[in-house]
Amino acid sequence: MTDSLSRGPTVAITAASSPPSLRDAVMAAAAVSFGFHGTLFHRTVATPGAVFDILGRRFGLPKFAQQRAAAGVDARDRMRLAGRREVTLADIYDALPIESALARAVMAAEIALELDLLRPDAEASDAFRHAHARGLPVLVVADTHLGRTFVREALSRHGLPSAAVFVSSDCNLTAAGSGDLFDLAIDYLDTPRDRVLHIGGDLAGDVAQARAKGLMVLHHSASSGDEDDIARVVPLPPPDTLSARDLGYHVAGPAAVGFLNWIERRVRKDGIGHVLFPVAAGHLLDRALKNYPGLWALPGHSLIPGSEVAFRLAAMDDQNFREHLPFLISGSNGLRPFEVLERIGVPAPAPEIMARYGLGDESRLSPALHSRLRGFLFEYRFEILKVCRRNRRALLSHLRHLGLEPGRCVALVDLSWDGAVQESFEAALRGLVTLSLQGYSFFGPAEGGPAEGGPAEGGEGPQRLSPQQRSAFFDADNVAPAIVRRLQSNRSLVRLLFSPLQNAIIGLEPTPDGARGLQDERWDAEGDHAQATAALMDGAMAFIGDHAAALAQGRAPAPALETAWPLVDLLNRPVPLSDALRPLANLDPWTDSARRAG
Amino acid sequence: MVERRKFDAIRGFDLGLPVAYNDVDLCMRLYKAGYYNVMCQAAELIHHESISRGLDFVSPEKMARLERERIGLYDRHPDLFLHDPFNNPNLHPNGTNFEIV
């Protein structure tokens, strides 16, 4: 809402005058200054306390909201005692009674959340762009403890041109309190004060102070934070049996939307040119992108018919075969020996041949048989390597089909916590094409190192990736490590949310238009389980459809982690799953094949 | 050796492979044009490998060019990458003396 324009200290604001449009007003000035919170942007939460509540929930700190509010008061008291005029966010977190590493993580999360909660005011943003396009010097004068970097990031994220930024916590001067921040801005501009227009949102604060400093002023309030502005996620139903469709609508759909929103932002930040979604992680994400084109602004993206197993095999040859033996026998305890070949798509020799190695069909693998199994696999390596060469040839064919030229910045999306898919993909790419690869995973490693399980378990895993090469949606940097550990422990359920089990890809085969994934044929593509996973995907797509409709009505997306939070709620407050879902949610196709094979 | 008629039919050497792999590419294209490559073990020819332009492994630039041309070869023939349709599957895939695996 725009109120009125006044020029210089002698001209009073007249409430009765007809307010000029912001566009017209900026053109009457030689330079324009904009307020930040309440003018250019508003928060999509009603009170700052709501931000603290969210952070407390994310980091498992039930008293955080009160502690954070008290720390703000404490920091301001210290500021006054020290003769300073403004606090920084670091000052506030120094006053918090929590451990310093945790304080750093929560502080970073507060900045990220504040960014996520900002929504630009359409009229002020338009005037900002208009002034910039007309070549006027444009400033942002902001009273905030969040710092200059935060303000710049907010402008950039919402497509506003860069501007000179004066922030109270960086300058130790305020706009609304003393108005001294305006003096600093005027010195920078070197323009007569009465030719500078300040557009502010607080009549008694920055507007009054700017006028007192001799600037033209215009009061414009960004529409206040309204929770109805946000595309909300429907809460989980009461603790009752959760059907497959409900699991899709209330958990998988929100998780996919949140993950895609996060990927969209990361892609922009990392300068990614193409996003690859391996089938195991990308089935639902790819469906969402295809059914709702334009809902997410991603560069080129494609589903890649591969998996950690398929990529690992593609990286193997007769020179490095021995190094990969631990991978081949990982997670095999309890399997029948022939299943170790079956799960990588290699035909097993006749039972009597296996029996000659002491690995007959009646035996179940255990550490006592590992040495014998290792010896057998090495002797059988040239049969295994036929499959490896086919996978590698198909991978080259697929990459050619995608047109990914050397050096291209590519993101590989995964669910896993340790970057195993990315590492196996990178190993498979060696000698084929050199890509600049960035890994995006749904959840990252928690403190205390990797959890058990997965193809790398028991194997000499590939070298860990540096944080620069991998980032995670749920990470110990933005949520409590306990939440990340819970996601790890429930990785089978997470996998199920994003892709039906019958999409367990174990190999690749060249085709005229690239490659196709070869599924693990041990999984029933029909039957109750397939119906359950189809209903789950339908529920997820229904949520994504509702989300798209909400955005079309002008609502803003909720912060990505908040959107995906029902999954955390589900893990915190387990809801019984339906009979068809329960076995799927606990199943690992790499290690559990014996039970399924009967 | 290749008949001129066949050589011309596949437009000769690929100038996009100026140093390495042009001979392999020629054979692959002849195969795809429906011809066989026949090895005559009795013939003896002497090729002074890299004598005119030096060995590839002596400089990073030459190694990089060699790698580019290797990738270029399989960019042209992805179907023949790690796949020799004439190789007996019972032979070692990387053997030079036809060892049985």
Is a pLDDT exceeding 60 seen at residue A465?
A: no
Report helix, strand or coil for A317.
coil
Q: What integer is the mean pLDDT of A456-480?
A: 68
Please report, for residues A276, A287, A540, the alpha-carbon distance to residue A283 in angstroms, rounded to integers and kept in the order given: 11, 6, 12
C-beta atoms of A393 and B83 within 8 A: yes
Distance (Å, whole) CA A31 – CA A186: 10
Chain A hits for B89, CB-CB cut-off 8 Å, are: 386
Please report, for residues A114, A188, A480, B90, the alpha-carbon distance to residue A35 in angstroms, rounded to integers and kept in the order given: 16, 17, 34, 76
C-beta atoms of A318 and B92 within 8 A: yes
C-beta atoms of B82 and A318 within 8 A: no
Q: What is the pLDDT of residues B66-75, one digit of tens each?
A: 988 998 999 8
**What contacts 24+ positions apart, CB below 8 Å, involve A210-214?**
A210/A33, A210/A175, A210/A179, A210/A182, A211/A6, A211/A9, A211/A13, A212/A9, A212/A179, A213/A179, A213/A182, A213/A183, A213/A186, A214/A8, A214/A9
pLDDT of residue A228: 54
Q: Residue A519 is inside which H or E element, if any?
A: strand A514-519
Q: What integer is the mean pLDDT of A75-100?
A: 92
List strand residue ranges (DSSP E) for A96-186, in order.
Answer: 118-120, 138-142, 164-167
pLDDT of residue A455: 54
Model confidence at A519, in pLDDT bands (50, 70, 90)?
A: confident
| Chain B CB within 8 Å of residue A389 CB | yes
Please report, for residues A157, A291, A302, A410, B60, the alpha-carbon distance to residue A274 in angstroms, rounded to integers and kept in the order given: 20, 19, 8, 5, 30
Residue with tokens 């009603």: A46
Q: Decide: A433 and A401 in contact? Cβ < 8 Å.
A: no
Sign of CA dihedral A221, A225, A228, A233: positive
Q: What is the pLDDT of residues A115-134, one digit of tens each?
A: 999 999 989 999 999 999 99
Q: What is the pLDDT of residues A187-204, one digit of tens each?
A: 998 889 999 999 999 898
Instruction: Identify which has the larger pLDDT, A451 or A495.
Output: A495
Pairs of residues, one from chain A and one from chain B, whose beta carbons lie less than 8 Å apart: 33
List strand residue ranges (DSSP E) for A159-298, in order.
Answer: 164-167, 196-200, 216-220, 230-231, 274-278
Q: What is the 3-state secondary structure (H, E, C) of A480-511?
A: CHHHHHHHHHCHHHHHHHHCCHHHCEEEEEEE
> From the list B71, B78, B89, which residue is nearest A397 (CB)?
B78
C-beta atoms of B101 and A382 within 8 A: yes
| Chain B CB within 8 Å of residue A408 CB | no
Sorted by where each begins, the domain ranges of chain B are 4-42+50-80
Nearest-neighbour CA in chain B from A593: distance (Å): 30
Q: Decide: A285 and A316 in contact? Cβ < 8 Å.
A: no
pLDDT of residue A380: 95
DSSP letter at A221? P
Instruction: Identify which has the larger pLDDT, A316 or A230.
Output: A316
Mutate to test the interface with B, among A379, A380, A381, A382 (most CBs of B within 10 A): A382
Beta bridge partners of A119: A42
Distance (Å, whole) CA A104 – CA A83: 25
The vertex-A313 CA angle with A311 and A318, nearest 5°, equals: 135
> From the list B75, B83, B101, which residue is nearest A400 (CB)?
B75
pLDDT of residue B71: 87
Q: Decide: B82 and A389 in contact? Cβ < 8 Å.
A: yes
| Chain B CB within 8 Å of residue A402 CB | no
Q: What integer is the mean pLDDT of A278-295?
A: 91
DSSP letter at A303? E
> From the list A319, A389, A400, which residue is nearest B82 (CB)?
A389
Is a pLDDT exceeding 90 seen at residue A369?
A: yes
| Of the listed ranges A19-23, A288-292, A539-543, A554-558, the one predicted with least confidence | A19-23
Q: Decide: A95 and A88 in contact? Cβ < 8 Å.
A: no
Residue with tokens 């590493």: A101
Q: Decide: A541 and A346 in contact? Cβ < 8 Å.
A: no
| Chain B CB within 8 Å of residue A393 CB | yes
Q: What integer is the mean pLDDT of A393-416?
A: 90
pLDDT of residue A577: 74
Query: Residue A318's Cα: distance from chain center in Å?
Result: 39
Q: Decide: A557 and A546 in contact? Cβ < 8 Å.
A: no
Strands A118-120 and A300-304: unpaired
Beta bridge partners of A471: A440
Is a pLDDT exceeding 70 seen at residue A266?
A: yes
Distance (Å, whole) CA A149 – CA A156: 10
What integer best gives the mean pLDDT of chain A? Answer: 86
Nearest-neighbour CA in chain B from A309: distance (Å): 19
Distance (Å, whole) CA B3 – CA B86: 21
Report pTM.
0.84
Residue with tokens 């002020």: A124
DSSP letter at A142? E
C-beta atoms of A382 and B83 within 8 A: no
pLDDT of residue A447: 64
pLDDT of residue A352: 94
Sign of CA dihedral A366, A370, A375, A377: positive
C-beta atoms of A392 and B101 within 8 A: no
Model confidence at A523, in pLDDT bands (50, 70, 90)?
A: low
> From the list B71, B78, B93, which residue is nearest A385 (CB)?
B93
Is a pLDDT exceeding 50 seen at residue A316?
A: yes
Q: Which of residues 68-87 of B touch A (CB under 8 A)?
A: 71, 74-75, 78-79, 81-83
pLDDT of residue B91: 86
Strand order in the sheet with A164-167: A2-6, A216-220, A196-200, A31-34, A138-142, A164-167
> From the list B78, B89, B92, which residue is nearest A400 (CB)?
B78
Chain B hits for A385, CB-CB cut-off 8 Å, are: 93
Residue with tokens 């451990």: A99
Chain B hits for A318, CB-CB cut-off 8 Å, are: 92-94
| Of the listed ranges A281-290, A293-302, A399-408, A569-578, the one predicted with least confidence | A569-578
pLDDT of residue A19: 56
| Chain B CB within 8 Å of residue A90 CB | no
The alpha carbon torsion through B67, B73, B76, B79 (nearest 10 deg) reads: -110
Instruction: Identify which has the larger pLDDT, A293 or A580.
Output: A293
Is a pLDDT exceeding 80 seen at residue A278?
A: yes
Query: Per this entry, what is the length of chain A?
Result: 598
Chain A hits for B96, CB-CB cut-off 8 Å, are: none
Structure tokens that stand for B63 in this block: 């190694």
Mutate to test the interface with B, among A432, A434, A508, A513 (most CBs of B within 10 A): A432
Alpha carbons within 13 angstroms on the beta-carbon side of residue A218 total 29
Q: What integer is the mean pLDDT of A490-511?
A: 84
Is a pLDDT exceeding 70 seen at residue A309?
A: yes
Q: What is the pLDDT of residues B15-48, one digit of tens each?
A: 999 899 999 999 999 999 999 888 888 888 898 8
Burial class (CB in 10 A: 0-12, 13-18, 19+), B34: exposed
Q: What integer is the mean pLDDT of A415-430?
A: 85
Q: Decide: A539 and A253 in contact? Cβ < 8 Å.
A: yes
| Chain B CB within 8 Å of residue A318 CB | yes
Whole-number percent of chain A with pLDDT over 70: 87
In chain A, % helix, strand, coil (3-state, to 5) comes to: 50, 15, 35
Distance (Å, whole) CA A323 – CA A415: 25
Q: What is the pLDDT of residues A227-244, one digit of tens each?
A: 556 666 667 776 677 888
| Chain B CB within 8 Å of residue A226 CB | no
